[in-house]
Amino acid sequence: MAPLGLGGLGGLLLNLASGTPCAGDGHAGGHNSCDSCDNDISFLQAELRFATRAGRAPPAPLLKPIGRSFFSEDPANSAKWWLRYSSSEQLPPEKMMTVGLDQSSESAAVMVKSKGEEVEKLYFLNVNDWKSPSNLTMKDFVQAAKLSWGSVMKREQLYSPWTDFHDGHIVETLRFDQVEMDMQPFQLYETGVVQRAYIPNTTWTMEWRTDPDSDRVFPSSAEYAELVMFKNPDKCRNHWNDEFPERAYWKSTFPVLNASAAKEFALDVLHAKPLEKENPYPWPRQPGCIAVQWASLPQAAGEPFQLHFVEDFVYDTVLHSIPEFLQYQQDFLQTDVSKGCINSFMLNNLILETESLDPFARRLDELSVPYFVFAIEDRYALLFSFPGNEGVTLQLQSPHLSYVAPRPVEFCK
Ligand SMILES: *[C@@H]1O[C@H](CO)[C@@H](O)[C@H](O)[C@H]1NC(C)=O
Ligand SMILES: *[C@@H]1O[C@H](CO)[C@@H](O)[C@H](O)[C@H]1NC(C)=O
Ligand SMILES: *[C@@H]1O[C@H](CO)[C@@H](O)[C@H](O)[C@H]1NC(C)=O
């Protein structure tokens, strides 16, 4: 049976909207007209049922951001940083649930909160570090991220592509008073609306955003201002339609080799929606310009959660570049994946919760994209990286899985 085209239903909705007036039309004795409305509505309901039976695609599954997992060479130190500089609490072991927890030599986790509400869980895990055919390990890349951030702190450049690995919060989760008191290395755009910091012992940084119509963040001492205030590094960005997010944990950003391929993959596999507003950077990428593609994951309530994919060939990296890093992960996914074990990099993942893992695993199979399915505690986890843009790695968690059998978690040697 052919699925009902959008046209049929769309036309019907149009009829309803422009057709017989319904209740509230101002007719005191509008009994008859409302009868015909009821008929139209029950017909619409029947049509919808028919459409569902006939194979109309069910609504896209929701993907709720739970938090993030990081490879950390020093989990206790990474967590300590969050506890001191953000509104977070230690997450007790019984509330930890992520891939690799039981295999970690060391782990720590925090729950970030904003105004008493849970924002996200952050896991820091240290595991047996996988070595690539060119003898690179995650520790090398942690060093690269740290030194690249250092090049910005030393004012050798305004930004580094390693900084594109970041999550975005609204400023309420940041304890800037504490950051300033400790004279921490920090980046504050001179507009006062964007703040950044490096997460110690990881390949990640963090971004906070301040509502420009409320209190912008500025250091209280001139001495600290001199250390942390930077010119806006967003090469070629158009700021005319900047928006201030309302969701406390509002985005996850990734450096990629091909931003349109990353976006297309998110639209296809995650049922993400493309950005509604105009791209703030020139597209396709122009020489000397950063280029981005954004997509969003619809949520049950409130604003969508955004995924940002960035092509940055403007700024420099120290020690190891992003393409080198992505090559490392491609090497892994092309050589070791059949063993069913994951590598230390895959601990760097964005954790999203969904109703069932089945539709995602099925679609990845159709696209021949390697993935891993594990049983953890009372649920299942599906881990995969975006093909060609392997820095984008997701961990989907769900209580439901029937399409494939889960395996025990194992790390490749
Ligand atoms: C990696 O290390 C091994 C053993 O230390 C060495 O034999 C090999 O040549 C190295 N490979 C590369 C590409 O450097
Ligand atoms: C973690 O980072 C801190 C601060 O940069 C550093 O002093 C420490 O040595 C790192 N830990 C490890 C195990 O490398
Ligand atoms: C990026 O990926 C798209 C497919 O989504 C492809 O058409 C395009 O050629 C790729 N660009 C480059 C520079 O490889």
Instruction: Report which of 316, 305, 142 is spatially closest to residue 235, judged by C-alpha positions.
Output: 316
Distance 73 CA to ligand 2 centre (A): 7
Instruction: Report which of 118, 61, 28, 11 is spatially closest to residue 397, judged by C-alpha positions.
Output: 61
Please tell me the distance from the alpha carbon of residue 250 to that of residue 218, in angstroms, as a whole number. Answer: 22
Please tell me the distance from the alpha carbon of residue 353 to that of residue 396, in angstroms, as a whole number. Answer: 6
| pLDDT of res. 336 | 60
Output the pTM of the full model: 0.86
- Token pair, residue 330, equals 């491609």
Q: What does R_g of the chain's alpha carbons equal in angstroms? A: 24
| pLDDT of res. 129 | 83
| Ligand with minimal distance to 388 CA | 3
The answer to whether the beta carbons of residues 347 and 341 sit under 8 Å apart is no
Instruction: Report which of 384, 379, 386 is spatially closest to residue 406, judged by C-alpha positions.
Output: 379
Which residue has tokens 């970690």? 104
Ligand 2: which residues within 6 Å by Cβ? 73-74, 77, 200-201
Amino acid in the structure at residue 63: L
134 in contact with ligand 1, CB cutoff 6 A: yes
| pLDDT of res. 8 | 32
Please tell me the distance from the alpha carbon of residue 66 to that of residue 16, in angstroms, as a whole number. Answer: 40
| pLDDT of res. 58 | 73
Please tell me the distance from the alpha carbon of residue 111 to that of residue 95, in angstroms, as a whole number. Answer: 10
- Token pair, residue 375, equals 């049983």
> Ligand 1 atom 14: the closest Cα is on which residue?
134
Q: What is the DSSP letter of 35?
A: H
Phi-psi region of 67 (alpha: psi -120 to 50; beta: other; left: phi over 0): left
**349 beta partners:** 69
Distance 202 CA to ligand 2 centre (A): 10
Distance 163 CA to ligand 2 centre (A): 18
Ligand 3: which residues within 6 Å by Cβ? 258, 260-261, 264
Q: DSSP alpha helices (H): ranges in 154-277?
A: 176-181, 222-228, 259-269
Q: For the CA atoms of 241, 294, 185, 191, what is the dihedral angle to 10 degrees?
A: 0
18 in contact with ligand 1, CB cutoff 6 A: no
Q: What is the DSSP letter of 342?
A: B
Mutate to test the pocket of ligand 1, among 131, 134, 135 (most ligand atoms within 8 A of CB): 135
| pLDDT tens for the chain, residues 1 to 413 | 333 333 333 333 333 333 333 333 333 333 333 334 444 444 445 444 444 455 666 788 999 999 999 999 999 999 999 999 999 999 999 999 999 999 999 999 999 999 989 999 999 999 988 888 889 999 999 999 999 999 999 999 999 999 999 999 999 999 999 999 999 999 999 888 899 999 999 999 999 999 888 878 889 999 999 999 999 999 999 887 777 899 999 999 999 999 999 999 999 999 999 988 889 999 999 999 999 999 999 999 999 999 999 999 999 999 999 999 999 998 888 876 777 889 999 999 999 999 999 999 999 999 999 999 999 988 999 999 999 999 999 999 999 999 999 999 999 87
Please tell me the distance from the alpha carbon of residue 4 to that of residue 47, in angstroms, as a whole number. Answer: 9
